[in-house]
Chains A and B, each alone.
Chain A
Amino acid sequence: MENYPETLKTILNDEAYEYRRDSFLAFLKSPVRDYKESPTVKDYVEISDKDLEKMIYGEIPDTAGNIIFDQDADIKIINDEVTASEQLLKKGVIACDMITAISQHKSLIEKYLIPRHGSERIEHLINSSWRNGLFIYVPENTKLKIKIHNLSDAASSFAYKSAIICGKDSAVELIDIYESTGSGRGIQGKNVYFFLDEYSKVKYHYLQDKLDTVTDITFVKQYQDKFSEFSFFHINHGSSRVLFANESRQFGASSDYRVYGVNFSTGSQKMDIRDSSFQEGIGSSADIQVRGVVTGSSSTIHRGNIDLEEIAIKSSGFYDSKILLLSRDGYANSKPGLMIKNNDTRSKHGSSISNVDEEQIFYLRSRGIDLNTATGMVTAGFVGSIIEKANNQEFTKKVYEYAEGLGINAFLGTN
């Protein structure tokens, strides 16, 4: 990685070069943790510098396997190539790839993207090395629904960056699905940034169901102006290693941030799911609820900080994590955090890790339901309370399928 600045100059010498260079410097300056995350492991999801190198230099095969896009998708993305539908563009929306946006929508890029470099080490690296990405600008007072279907070759490795800007008073519902084609062990990183102008509303449905050989690294950030509302429903099901870090940047007064997340780790998957709020706006609120299900020899860690800054008076922040540990060989961890820097706030966090409730299983079995089905049903109920808030039938159906499919592999403490 030492020669990477050369690469920045030669391969990625575009109009975002200054930004890329500053991001790379920020990456170099970011401290590398020198202590173990737990007595047994250094990192819950280990991503080596070699992996990162593979991601930033990029490896994209010529063919992308059998490509079948969702016909309803407004934006179709294969690896890092973006195609937006004509219908979407007719609505006055700007939807293009990032490279195009950098050259054709400079003022928007300078206003929203350039001042922000992220906060985490790998996030900085993706900001310096993205090959392409999705750029969406929704003008003021626009209401619309956009479905995005991302397909990537499992063998491809790349860094990807998206920006979605929602103008004042706009209301957007985004459905964003990430899946794989082909086979391989790609390292795929992405930063997805939302910029919510005042009074705008975003409902974001995210589903990651890539092949279980791929490593998926995702940073999602929301920069929220006053009275904006962001609702986020995320599901992580695929990939062998998942590092998913979602954090709000609520600088606007009375901004509202709600997160409902579900993740399933099976086989030998490792998932590090982070959902945090960073609140600087007066009267801002954050409510995060995450559910995880662990089977096989997989592992899941849920982390989440509620960070209420000194000026964020009259604000509230809540974090709730629950993990079902249905495996003898798997493990589950939680690291919720509160960072409260003024006293005129309300905040709370809670976390629990356990097997399914014996009484619930007993009840279902006494009604003639076999153990596997009963386990699937209880698991579906466990995640159902979260996913039904999304009010998205396609997602709800998928989650129930995932949940019910786990019953066969589950280990119950009751037997």
Chain B
Amino acid sequence: MESEYSKDAEMEKLLEDLRTSGIRKEDWEFHDSHKPTYSTGIGINRKVVEEISDIKNEPDWMRRFRLKSLEIFLAKPVPTWGPDLSGIDWENTNYYTRPDEVNANKWEDVPDEIKDTFTKLGVPEMEQKYLAGSVAQYDSEGVYHNLKKVWEDKGVVFMDLDSAIREHSDLVKDYFCRAVPATDNKFAALNGAAWSGGSFLYVPKGVHIDMPLQTYFRMNGEATGQFEHTIVVADEGSKVHYIEGCTAPKYDRNSLHSAIVEIYVKKNAQARYTSVQNWSKSVYNMPTKRAWVDENAKMEWVGGSLGSKVTMLYPSSYLRGPYASAHNLNVSLAGPGTVKDTGAKALHLAPYTSSRIVAKSISIEDGKAIYRGLLRMNKGAIHSKSHVQCDALLINDKSQSFTYPHDEIYEPTATFGHEATVGRIGTEELTYLRSRGLSEDEASSMIVLGFLDDVMKEIPMEFAVEMNRLIKLEMGKLGAVG
């Protein structure tokens, strides 16, 4: 049975790939020739928003919601407390582009050019081997969704959000923009006005999905915006692992990605959200991600922020029920000329809640890695605990690292600790490894990957290998790590 999948053999192959750095930027920064069949043109205004709503044939409540969100978006100023966002060309961005009108549940039915794109990115192969289901989005619309029958039979719903609004309207309405209202921030309001695509995942009570589900987002056009909205609901006692991957080609003109991710982890449920973001260096990445975590539920955020020109990302957990817990693990790689303003928020709103935030960043050349976080313990969150740890590694002499935690404790029985370190690859560590026969490049590589180990071991093996390869690639081309 040669064709049968062998996990060991596959792992060996992946590790071999890692050893030989068998990955090139062209693997995901390629352009394909597929032209969108429909676009609302550049800029955003009432007409464009109504047009998006018309295309989707939406119910009236959604149309009104979009228009209200547009008003909020136009009224809110561009945030000035973080990285420079002046490169976002609001006027000349295309806020909605649609590929061919297709949303297949078999890859054979997806148009060849789009299918080829996802095949190059390894999405169908990954789905077959490791996933319980997957959704693929190309520009503004989902083009493929599939869920293995065994999970469908158990009542799991997994599809792009547009389809979910049509097929499970009441269920979606219960959760849509409850955790992240349009008033939250300018980018959330923009998403409210122009959202298109994204996924909806509902895991019924008591169902444990033992394989991850994945959505893959591909932004193909130049100076476009992608505004997907993802909702994950882990009902009482359920367990789920949801993964997102994102890539885009590199263009001269900047694109904008402003997503919303809402996760509802009900009583005794567990949800893990893993995201490997590898946007190209012409993308402003401004998502808002938030989880509501109920009694005794557990939320885990695992993230790898590798690409993009500027990223502002602070996944937040609202710990709403007693004994709720949140765990954030994030790796950021600030390559040359890029800014990664990432962090996490944990709001302890109930007794005996706990949170742990671990953030690791690497800055290369003049890359700027920023940790920005909020930890808040409300009065009444008795005996809650939190620990925040941020570590930064500066590879080159011009690399920069900034840490801005913000801790607010209103409950005297709570315990909170924060620590951060910034350093470079130590001469002593290098000398030790070199004395054991490793080349300088091999030794540096080993130290960098060791630095990230806390986070990497929490990521599924296949994704950790992929992330290791991407990090090695980013550093290798600078001669920093071979």
Contacts and interface: CB of A to CB of B under 8 A. Distances in A.
* A and B are partners in one complex rather than unrelated chains: yes
Interface of A: 35, 38-39, 310, 313, 323, 325-328, 330-355, 411-413
Contacts of A353: 407, 409, 414-416
A166 B422 CA distance: 33
A406 B392 CA distance: 39
B36 to A, nearest CB: 38
Contacts of A412: 412
Interface in B385-413: 392, 394-413
A266 to B, nearest CB: 14
Given A348-B419, A348-B420, A349-B420, A342 B394 contact: yes
A354 B414 contact: yes
Contacts of B403: 336-339, 349
Given A348-B420, A350-B418, A351-B407, A340 B412 contact: no
B424 interface: yes
Contact of A343 (B397, B409, B419): B397
A38 B377 CA distance: 13
A343 B420 contact: no
A353 B413 CA distance: 10
B119 interface: no
Contacts, number: 116
B407 A334 contact: yes
Nearest to A325: B412
Nearest to A41: B408
Contact of B423 (A332, A335, A346): A346
Contact of B407 (A39, A310, A328, A335): A335
A342 B398 contact: yes
Contact of A326 (B379, B382, B404, B412): B412
Q: Which of A326, A340, A352, A354 counts the most B-chain CB atoms under 10 A from its CB?
A: A340
Interface in B365-396: 376, 379, 382-383, 392, 394-396
A204 B416 CA distance: 31
Q: Which of A323, A331, A342, A343 counts the most B-chain CB atoms under 10 A from its CB?
A: A343
Contact of A38 (B397, B406, B416, B419): B406
Nearest to A44: B408
A343 B81 contact: no
Given A331-B408, A346-B422, 16 more contacts: A325-B411, A326-B412, A327-B412, A333-B408, A335-B404, A336-B405, A338-B422, A343-B424, A345-B422, A347-B422, A348-B421, A349-B403, A349-B418, A350-B417, A350-B418, A352-B417
B402 A340 contact: yes
* 9 A-B pairs closest in CB distance: A413-B413, A343-B394, A338-B403, A350-B419, A343-B424, A353-B409, A352-B417, A331-B410, A354-B415
Nearest to A317: B422
Nearest to B372: A337
A413 B383 contact: yes
Contact of B408 (A38, A344, A348, A349): A38
Given A340-B422, A344-B397, A350-B420, A411 B412 contact: yes
Contact of A351 (B392, B394, B418): B418
A326 B399 CA distance: 41
B400 A340 contact: yes
B412 A35 contact: no
Given A339-B402, A347-B422, A354-B414, A333 B409 contact: yes
Contact of A332 (B405, B409, B415): B409
A335 B406 contact: yes
A411 B376 CA distance: 20
B418 A355 contact: no
B377 to A, nearest CB: 8
Nearest to B369: A340
Given A343-B395, A348-B421, A348-B422, A328 B412 contact: yes
Nearest to A320: B419
A349 B394 contact: no
Interface in B421-479: 421-424
A39 B408 CA distance: 10
Contacts of A328: 379, 412
A334 B81 contact: no
A107 to B, nearest CB: 40
A342 B413 contact: no
B422 A351 contact: no
Q: Which of B382, B418, B422 counts the most A-chain CB atoms under 10 A from its CB?
A: B422
B397 A354 contact: no
A328 B396 CA distance: 47
Contacts of B363: 343
B310 to A, nearest CB: 18
27 contacts: A310-B398, A327-B412, A331-B379, A333-B407, A335-B405, A335-B407, A336-B418, A338-B402, A338-B422, A340-B394, A342-B397, A343-B395, A345-B422, A347-B423, A348-B419, A348-B420, A348-B422, A350-B418, A350-B419, A351-B417, A352-B415, A352-B418, A353-B407, A355-B412, A411-B412, A413-B383, A413-B413
B451 to A, nearest CB: 13
Contact of B409 (A39, A325, A342, A349): A325
Given A340-B394, A340-B402, A354 B416 contact: yes
B373 to A, nearest CB: 11
A354 to B, nearest CB: 4
Contact of B420 (A326, A336, A344): A336
Contacts of A352: 415-418
Contacts of B424: 343-344
Contact of B412 (A337, A350, A413): A413
Interface string B231-251: 000000000000000000000
A363 to B, nearest CB: 18
A38 B406 CA distance: 9
A170 to B, nearest CB: 34
B385 to A, nearest CB: 9
Contacts of B409: 323, 325, 331-333, 353
Contacts of A348: 419-422
A53 B409 CA distance: 33
A35 B81 contact: yes
Nearest to B77: A34
A119 B160 CA distance: 52
B402 to A, nearest CB: 5
A345 B392 CA distance: 12
A326 B414 CA distance: 11
Nearest to A343: B394
B419 to A, nearest CB: 4
A346 to B, nearest CB: 6
B337 to A, nearest CB: 16
A334 B404 contact: no
A197 B305 CA distance: 46
Nearest to B347: A39
Contacts of B414: 325, 353-354
A353 B418 CA distance: 9
A331 B413 CA distance: 11
Contacts of A354: 414-417
Contacts of A323: 409
Contacts of B394: 340, 342-343
Contacts of B408: 38, 331, 333
